[in-house]
Each structure stands twice: as C-alpha cells, then as structure tokens.
Amino acid sequence: MTPSPTTPPHYHVLASDGKHRYRISINVRSRSYPPDLLYVLEPQFHHPITRKLLNLEPGFHRLYYPPAGAALDYVRGGLFEPHQMQPLPFDRPGQTTI
C-alpha cells in the first residue's frame, strides 16, 4: 500500500461467488477522529443473522436493515460488544493475502 497525502489508504479485497469476481475497497484510515479501522475476531460467532446470510444465493444482494433484512450493523445489531474492537494496523509489513 502506497500512502497518499490526499487519499486515505484502502485495503482492496477480491471476492468471488464462483461466477463473478468483486473488488471491495475498505477505507482503513478515516479523516475524522478517531481515524482507525477497528475489527474484532470471533472464531465461534453465532448469531441469527448468519442463517439469513447462508440462505442467500451467490451474487450481489441489496440488503436492508432488520427487522426483515440481513444487513450487518455491527453496533446496533448486537453482533458483538464494541469495546472488543481493536485498531487494525495498515502500515506494517505482513501477509498480503488472506
């Protein structure tokens, strides 16, 4: 990742559903405070929303916020406790393919 003084840095994720490839850009450094991209790892994640996501056909889907939708709202959806989140370092050397 090459830093730019005018454009916030991004991670670029390539995803495939078996038919199509998608490029997902994730802003990793906001211009507002606090600027950090936060994440949480939960290896044993269980939540009713995962059943809805697993039942979707492959491809792009416009998702709507609950009660009927399957859109992910990490804070209001109660998917995890916000205090569990940690900053994701974007400017350190490391693995580039997950």
**Alpha carbon distance 8, 26 (integer Å):** 10
Residue 53 within any structural domain of the chain: yes
pLDDT tens digits in sequence order for the chain, 98 residues long: 444 456 778 888 898 888 889 898 888 888 888 888 888 888 888 888 888 888 888 888 887 776 667 777 777 777 888 888 898 887 777 665 44
Residue 27 within any structural domain of the chain: yes
Residue 47 within any structural domain of the chain: yes
| φ/ψ bin of 25: left (φ > 0), alpha (ψ from -120 to 50), beta (otherwise) | beta
**Alpha carbon distance 13, 22 (integer Å):** 8
Is the whole model's pTM more than 0.85, yes or no?
no
Domain count, the chain: 1
Domain that holds residue 59: 10-87
Residue 43 within any structural domain of the chain: yes
